[in-house]
C-alpha cells in the first residue's frame, strides 16, 4: 500500500510539471493493488487499469506529449481465448461483416508485442504504394515490392484465420489474427504455405509473392486491421528501417476518419474508370450487396454520373 501511495504522489508531481515534447514512452513498472493496476511509464507518467470494467484512464496522443490531458476511455486488454473466438471466420475475408465505424469510436491502447514476442517485416522490398485514397478509392494497405516466388513471412505471432482465394481482388491471401487482436493481411500471393487455424510465429513462411487477383505487377499488399477497420501500417512500422516504431498502439476515433467517411456515405456518383468492384472496395461492401441494392448484375455496365446506392 505504501508503494502505491508513493506512485500516486509521484504521478501528481509529474502531472503538474510544465508541458514539453517527449518521445512516446514505454511501460517500465506495474504496481498491483486489488482491482487496479498502476502502470508507470518511462516518461514518469502513469495510468490506472480497472480489471473489473476494463475501463481505464488512458492517455491520448496529446497527453503523451503534454502530461496534462488524461481521458477516460477503453484500454484494450487482449485475452487469447476471447481474441481467437470472437467472430472467428475461416470462410469470409472480413470476420465482423463490413467496415463499421462504430467499432472505432473508443480510444484503444493496444500493446504491439508481448515481452518475448518478435516482429518481422513481411518482405524486405521497398514501398510501391502507401495507405490512403488512390484513384478514387481507399487503398487500405501498403504495397511492398517483390519478385514472384519471393518468401512472405508473418509479421507477428498468431493464428491463420483465412488462407485461400478471394475473387474480390485480393487473389491468394493469408489473414493472420494476432494475440493483441490485430489482424494482418498478405494479398496477391502466388502460393499459400499455411492453412486455416494454423499457429504461426513471427518470421515464419506463410506464402510466396506474386500477382494474383486485381494486380498490375508483383507485390504483396499488406494491411493491418482492428476488427475489420483498416489503418495505416506506418503507424506501427518504419518500412525503411524494417522496425517497429511504437510499443503501444494508440487508436483514436480521429484516426478512422476515412472509415467514418465511407460508412456515412449513402450514394456514390460514378466517375471515369469506376467499376462495381472498385466501388465495393471503396465502401467496404460486397459486389452482391451493391447489385441487390441497385437492381444490377455483376455484368451490368455503369455510366459516368450514375448514382449507385451503397447503403
> Is 248 part of a structural domain of the chain?
yes
Residues 238 and 295 grouped into a single domain: no
Yes or no: say if 159 and 198 are a contact pair by the CB < 8 Å rule.
yes
Residues 247 and 198 grouped into a single domain: yes
Residue 49, SS3 per DSSP: strand
Residues 191 and 234 grouped into a single domain: yes
Number of domains composing the chain: 3
Predicted confidence (pLDDT) at residue 123 exceeds the cutoff of 90: yes
Residues 58 and 187 grouped into a single domain: no
Q: What is the CATH number of the domain that holds 299?
A: 3.10.350.10
> Is 88 part of a structural domain of the chain?
no
Q: Which residues of 289-303 are buried (b: 16+ CB within 10 A; e: fewer)?
A: ebbeebeeeeeeebe
Instruction: Assign 236 a pLDDT band (cuts: 50, 70, 90).
Output: very high
Dig out the grid coordinates for 265 from the structure.
Answer: 456515405
- Average pLDDT score over residue span 56-62: 38
- For 97-106, the pLDDT digits (tens) are 655 545 555 6
Last residue of a domain, one of 233, 253, 273: 253
Residues 123 and 229 grouped into a single domain: yes
Residues 221 and 271 grouped into a single domain: no
> Is 202 part of a structural domain of the chain?
yes
pTM beyond 0.85: the answer is: no
- Average pLDDT score over residue span 129-155: 87
Residues 17 and 56 grouped into a single domain: yes
> Is 182 part of a structural domain of the chain?
yes
> Is 86 part of a structural domain of the chain?
no
Predicted confidence (pLDDT) at residue 162 exceeds the cutoff of 80: yes
Last residue of a domain, one of 32, 59, 74: 74
Predicted confidence (pLDDT) at residue 73 exceeds the cutoff of 50: no
> Is 179 part of a structural domain of the chain?
yes
Residues 207 and 130 grouped into a single domain: yes
Q: What is the CATH number of the domain that holds 130?
A: 2.70.70.10
Instruction: Assign 155 a pLDDT band (cuts: 50, 70, 90).
Output: very high
Residues 242 and 271 grouped into a single domain: no
Report the alpha-carbon distance of residue 157 to residue 114 in Å, rounded. Answer: 10
Yes or no: say if 87 and 96 are a contact pair by the CB < 8 Å rule.
yes
Selection from 76-85, 202-211, 271-280 with the highest mean pLDDT: 202-211
Residues 121 and 234 grouped into a single domain: yes
Report the alpha-carbon distance of residue 217 to residue 202 in Å, rounded. Answer: 26
> Is 58 part of a structural domain of the chain?
yes
Last residue of a domain, one of 56, 74, 92: 74
Selection from 53-67, 76-90, 238-252, 274-288 with the highest mean pLDDT: 238-252
Q: What is the mean pLDDT of the chain?
A: 76
**Does residue 158 or residue 288 have the better pLDDT?**
158
Selection from 80-84, 254-258, 277-281 with the highest mean pLDDT: 80-84
Residues 159 and 43 grouped into a single domain: no
Strands 171-178 and 158-166 come out as: antiparallel
Query: Residue 135's pLDDT is what?
Result: 65
- For 185-214, the pLDDT digits (tens) are 999 999 999 999 999 999 999 999 999 998
Residues 149 and 69 grouped into a single domain: no
Predicted confidence (pLDDT) at residue 38 exceeds the cutoff of 70: no
Dig out the grid coordinates for 306 from the structure.
Answer: 450514375
Percent of the chain with pLDDT over 70: 64
Instruction: Assign 69 a pLDDT band (cuts: 50, 70, 90).
Output: very low
Query: Residue 41's pLDDT is what?
Result: 59
> Is 94 part of a structural domain of the chain?
no
Structural domain for 223, as ranges: 101-253
Amino acid at each position: 500500500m505504501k508503494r502505491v501511495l508513493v506512485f500516486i504522489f509521484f504521478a501528481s508531481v509529474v502531472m503538474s510539471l510544465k508541458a514539453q515534447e517527449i518521445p512516446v514512452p514505454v511501460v517500465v513498472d506495474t504496481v498491483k493493488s486489488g482491482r487496479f493496476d498502476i502502470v508507470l511509464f518511462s516518461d514518469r507518467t502513469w495510468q490506472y487499469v480497472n480489471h473489473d470494467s476494463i475501463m481505464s484512464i488512458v492517455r491520448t496522443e496529446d497527453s503523451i506529449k503534454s502530461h496534462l490531458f488524461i481521458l477516460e476511455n477503453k484500454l484494450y486488454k487482449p485475452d487469447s481465448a476471447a481474441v481467437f473466438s470472437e467472430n472467428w471466420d475461416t470462410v469470409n475475408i472480413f470476420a465482423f461483416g463490413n467496415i463499421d465505424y462504430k467499432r472505432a469510436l473508443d480510444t484503444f491502447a493496444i500493446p504491439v508485442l508481448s515481452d518475448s514476442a518478435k516482429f518481422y517485416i513481411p518482405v524486405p522490398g521497398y514501398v510501391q504504394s502507401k495507405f490512403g485514397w488512390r484513384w478514387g478509392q481507399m487503398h487500405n494497405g501498403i504495397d511492398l515490392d517483390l519478385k514472384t516466388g519471393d518468401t512472405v513471412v508473418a509479421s507477428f505471432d498468431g493464428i491463420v484465420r483465412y488462407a485461400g482465394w478471394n475473387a474480390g481482388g485480393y487473389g491468394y491471401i493469408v489473414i493472420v489474427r494476432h494475440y493483441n487482436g490485430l489482424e494482418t493481411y498478405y494479398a496477391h500471393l502466388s502460393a499459400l504455405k499455411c492453412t486455416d487455424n494454423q499457429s504461426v510465429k513471427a518470421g515464419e513462411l506463410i506464402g510466396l509473392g506474386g500477382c494474383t487477383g486485381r494486380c498490375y505487377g508483383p507485390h504483396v499488399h499488406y494491411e493491418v486491421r482492428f476488427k475489420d477497420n483498416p489503418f495505416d501500417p506506418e503507424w506501427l512500422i518504419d518500412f525503411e528501417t524494417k522496425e517497429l516504431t511504437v510499443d503501444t498502439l494508440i487508436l483514436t476515433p480521429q484516426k478512422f476518419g476515412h472509415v467514418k467517411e465511407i460508412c456515412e456515405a449513402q450514394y456514390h456518383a460514378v466517375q471515369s474508370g469506376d467499376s462495381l468492384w472498385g466501388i465495393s472496395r471503396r465502401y467496404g461492401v460486397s459486389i452482391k450487396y451493391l447489385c441487390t441494392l441497385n437492381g444490377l448484375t455483376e455484368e451490368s455496365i455503369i455510366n459516368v454520373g450514375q448514382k449507385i446506392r451503397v447503403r
